[in-house]
Amino acid sequence: MLIDFKKHEIKFKIVYYGPGLSGKTTNIKKIYERFAGKKGQLLSVDTKGERTLFFDLLPLELPILKGYKTIFSLYTVPGQVFYKQARKLVLKGSDGVIYVADSNPERFEEDIAIYKEMHDTLAEYGMWSATKKVPIIVQYNKRDDPHALPVGVLEEKVNIYKYPYILAIATEGRGVFQCLQRMINEVVKNSLRQQQLHFLLQQQKK
Give 109-144 pLDDT, tens digit per residue.
Answer: 999 999 999 999 999 999 988 778 999 999 999 999
pLDDT per residue as tens digits for the range 145-161 = 999 999 999 999 999 99
- pTM for this structure? 0.90
Q: For 82-113, how does the pLDDT look when each residue is reduced to its tens digit (9 = 90+)? A: 678 888 989 999 999 999 999 999 999 999 99
Q: Which residue has the higher pLDDT, 44 or 197?
A: 44
Please state, in angstroms and rounded to a whole number, the distance separating the CA atoms of residues 191 and 10: 11
How many C-alpha atoms does 40 have within 13 Å on its Cβ side? 15
For the chain, give every domain's residue range.
2-196
**Do residues 169 and 143 make contact, with C-beta atoms less than 8 angstroms apart?**
yes
Helices (H) and strands (E) in the chain, counts: 6, 7
User: CATH topology for 2-196?
Assistant: Rossmann fold (3.40.50)
